């Protein structure tokens, strides 16, 4: 294969142990003398957030890789992504926090309101809550661009192979042979590698090969419309806002870019119960009339949501889909990572975060032991942890707070919140969410 091998010197490892293994200051294993990681070549299938992050961590560990992406070219598709402190800490190991900080908004608060706009709870987030790492809200396209630029700068311009749609992988004793099709469906020459990592997202073809009887994605009975609007700051301009419940239509609103004139690029989502799932394509455009009627007479005082939507540069529709967790991601020399391994509802702010944490973990494993064992060790480390997040994103995301209050008040305004839900119960829901996602203050600052 052409183009293998790092083109730039490695960052100097900071610690070296008695076996000759060297570590970064955060404890990531860079190289081990127990075997030669430089003989390993990794094929990364999918150049999304998880695939690009994997390439960067592998490169940092001096492991060769190539990325194969089905799209012809990358466009700034998508809307906002929240990267909480646990994900930013991981990006810190790649030296990318400053770059993300420059294009993102650092929220100070996470706020929970009922559909009347009454505040139920708000909590500080990121550094404002005492984390050593920020929480950033960022446009997915901006995050993707930063990762792609870093891959091209550090690994070289030829390492990403566009227009390569994965069709099949065949394993033998020494490695894997990967089969590809071009965007017209014509076969491309197969390529080889020591191991392969399926980072091909929610509709993963790699996963389909190893879990052929899984069937369709699971639809949660909720449709989402998402968009972004250049708009004046809402509330303090530093809040991730969740408002309303499924019965009345839930809103998620947060800024993800600051502009010099004081306006912001604001991400907004609407989640509404629905009998029928639309196609789960990230670029499927949506129709404002399908949801905006709910908000025409909204009593929320702190935002004119219909006006916010009228400023949207685009509207996307996406169903709330995931898959039941599986008990296996690793099959010999192939593993799954990110959405391919654990597609989850995009409502706990963990889809991108967990794919970055996977990337860090898989690279650390591959750097530390022979490749086939490494993929097993990666699964061992991550599968159970992330499967729990998939399930909790269905049953108990943090906005369970709002659902609980709206149910108990039967959708009416409340006079005194304490009569509806205690502070301890509210905090219990939030703490449970942080525990499950590995984002407690103690875990992140450790
Ligand atoms: C275009 C796009 C827009 C998105 N917008 C949002 C958003 O607005 N908000 C949000 O929360 N999440 C969004 N997501 C999903 C989000 O990026 C992921 O949930 C999360 O970051 C996990 O990353 P991932 O790498 O596992 O998957 P993804 O980031 O989805 O990356 C998967 C990659 O694999 C490629 N791919 C797919 N099939 C094949 C194949 N057969 N062969 C080779 N390559 C393949 C895809 O083109 C894509 O580049 C979007 C994803 C995409 C692809």
Quote the CA–CA distance of 170 and 163 in Å, as a whole number. Answer: 20
Which pLDDT score is estimated for 61? 94
- Which ligand 1 atom is the nearest neighbour of the CA of 48? 31
Please tell me the predicted confidence (pLDDT) of residue 25.
52
Index of the ligand 1 atom closest to the CA of residue 340? 26
**What is the DSSP annotation of 68-118?**
E-SSSS------EEEE-HHHHHHHHTTT-HHHHHHHSB---EEEEE-TT--
**Position 4 in a domain:** no
Q: Residue 167's domain is classified under what CATH number?
A: 3.50.50.60
Please tell me whether residues 151 and 208 are part of one structural domain.
Answer: yes
Q: Do 67 and 90 belong to one domain? A: no
Is 13 in contact with 20 (CB distance < 8 Å)? no
| CATH number (domain holding residue 308) | 3.30.9.30
- Mark whether 91 and 149 lie in a shared domain: no
User: Is 431 contained in some domain?
Assistant: yes
Q: Among the atoms of ligand 1, which is closest to the Cα of residue 200?
A: 34
Query: Measured in angstroms, how far is the CA atom of residue 307 from the centroid of ligand 1?
Result: 30
415, HSE (Cβ side, Cα atoms, 13 Å): 1
d(CA 169, CA 28): 30
339: left (phi over 0), alpha (psi -120 to 50) or beta: alpha
- Which atom of ligand 1 lies nearest, measured to the CA of 338? 26
**401 and 292 in one domain?**
yes
Let me know whether 153 and 253 are in one domain. no
Ligand 1: which atom is nearest the Cα of residue 354?
A: 22
Is residue 7 included in any domain, yes or no? no
- What is the Å distance from ligand 1's center to 51 Cα? 9
Residue 3 in domain: no
**Residue 117 domain-assigned?**
yes
Residue with tokens 């990531």: 28
Residue ID of nearest Cα to ligand 1 atom 51: 282
Which residues approach ligand 1 with their CB closer than 6 A? 45-51, 68-71, 77-79, 81, 140, 165-166, 199-201, 205, 282, 338-340, 346, 351-352, 355
SS3 327: coil
State which of 57, 200, 319, 350 you would mutate to test the pocket of ligand 1, scoring each by most atoms of that ligand within 8 A of its C-beta. Answer: 200
Q: Is residue 10 part of a domain?
A: no
Cα(201) to centroid(ligand 1), Å: 5
Q: Among 393, 415, 437, give the residue marking a domain's end.
A: 393
Q: By residue range, what is the domain housing residue 421?
A: 80-138+220-323+396-445
The pLDDT profile of the chain, 446 residues, written as one tens digit per residue, is 333 333 333 344 444 444 445 555 555 555 554 456 668 999 999 999 999 999 999 999 999 999 999 999 998 777 899 999 999 999 999 999 999 999 999 999 999 999 999 999 999 999 999 999 999 999 999 999 999 999 999 999 999 999 999 999 999 988 999 999 999 999 999 999 999 999 999 999 999 999 999 988 888 888 899 999 999 999 999 999 999 988 888 999 999 999 999 999 999 999 988 888 777 788 889 999 999 988 888 889 999 999 999 999 889 998 888 899 999 999 999 999 999 999 998 877 889 999 999 999 999 999 999 999 999 999 999 999 999 999 988 887 888 899 999 999 999 999 999 999 999 999 998 888 888 888 888 888 98
What pLDDT, on the 0 to 100 scale, is given for residue 148? 97
Q: Are residues 85 and 127 in the same domain?
A: yes
Write down the pLDDT at residue 298.
Answer: 85
147 CA → ligand 1 middle, Å: 13
Nearest CA residue ID for atom 39, ligand 1: 200
Distance 144 CA to ligand 1 centre (A): 10
Of the residues 145, 166, 201, 389, which should be mutated to test ligand 1's pocket, given the most ligand atoms within 8 Å of the CB? 201
Which of 403-424 are b and which e, b meaning 16 or more Cβ less than 10 Å from the residue's Cβ? bbbbeebeeeebeebeebbeee
Residue 8 lies in a domain: no
CA of 176 to the centre of ligand 1 (A): 24
Structure tokens at 139: 């446009």
* Claim to verify: residue 230 and residue 364 sit in the same structural domain: no
Total count of domains within the chain: 2
Query: Considering the domain boundaries, does residue 161 fall inside one?
Result: yes
State CA 117 to chain mean position distance.
28
Protein residue with its CA nearest to atom 27 in ligand 1: 201
350 and 304: one domain? Answer: no
CA of 46 to the centre of ligand 1 (A): 8
């Amino acid at each position: 294969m052409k183009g293998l091998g790092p083109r730039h010197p490695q960052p100097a490892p900071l610690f070296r142990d008695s076996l000759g293994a060297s570590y970064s200051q955060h404890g990531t294993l860079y190289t081990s003398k127990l075997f030669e990681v430089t003989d390993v070549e990794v094929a990364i299938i999918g150049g999304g957030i998880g695939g690009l992050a994997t390439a960067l961590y592998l490169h940092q560990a001096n492991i060769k890789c190539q990325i194969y992406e089905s799209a012809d070219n990358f466009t700034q598709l998508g809307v906002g992504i929240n990267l909480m402190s646990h994900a930013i800490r991981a990006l810190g190991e790649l030296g990318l926090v400053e770059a993300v900080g420059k294009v993102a908004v650092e929220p100070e608060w996470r706020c929970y309101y009922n559909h009347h706009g009454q505040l139920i709870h708000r909590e500080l987030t990121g550094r404002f809550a005492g984390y050593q790492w920020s929480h950033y809200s960022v446009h997915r396209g901006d995050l993707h661009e930063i990762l792609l630029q870093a891959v091209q700068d550090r690994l070289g311009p030829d390492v990403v192979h566009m227009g390569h749609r994965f069709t099949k992988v065949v394993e033998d004793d020494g490695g894997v042979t990967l089969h590809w099709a071009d965007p017209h469906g014509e076969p491309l020459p197969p390529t080889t590698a020591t191991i392969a990592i399926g980072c091909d997202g929610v509709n993963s073809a790699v996963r389909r090969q190893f879990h052929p009887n899984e069937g369709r994605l699971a639809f949660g009975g909720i449709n989402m419309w998402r968009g972004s609007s250049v708009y004046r700051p809402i509330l303090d301009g530093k809040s991730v806002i969740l408002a309303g419940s499924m019965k009345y239509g839930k809103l998620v609103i947060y800024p993800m870019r600051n502009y010099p004139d004081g306006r912001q690029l604001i991400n907004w989502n609407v989640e509404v119960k629905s009998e029928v799932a639309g196609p789960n394509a990230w670029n499927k455009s949506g129709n404002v009339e399908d949801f905006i009627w709910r908000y025409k007479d909204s009593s929320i005082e702190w935002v004119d949501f219909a006006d916010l939507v009228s400023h949207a540069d685009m509207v996307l529709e996406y169903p709330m889909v995931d898959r039941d967790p599986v008990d296996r991601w690793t099959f010999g020399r192939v593993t799954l990572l990110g959405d391919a391994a654990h597609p989850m509802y995009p409502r706990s702010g963990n889809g991108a975060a967990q794919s970055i944490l996977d990337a860090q973990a898989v690279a650390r494993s591959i750097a530390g032991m022979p490749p086939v064992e490494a993929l097993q060790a990666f699964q061992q480390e991550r599968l159970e942890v992330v499967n729990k997040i998939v399930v909790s994103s269905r049953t108990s995301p943090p906005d369970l707070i709002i659902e609980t209050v709206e149910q108990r008040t039967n959708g009416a305004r409340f006079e005194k919140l304490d009569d509806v839900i205690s502070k301890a119960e509210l905090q219990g829901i939030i703490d449970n969410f942080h525990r499950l996602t590995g984002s407690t203050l103690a875990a992140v600052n450790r």
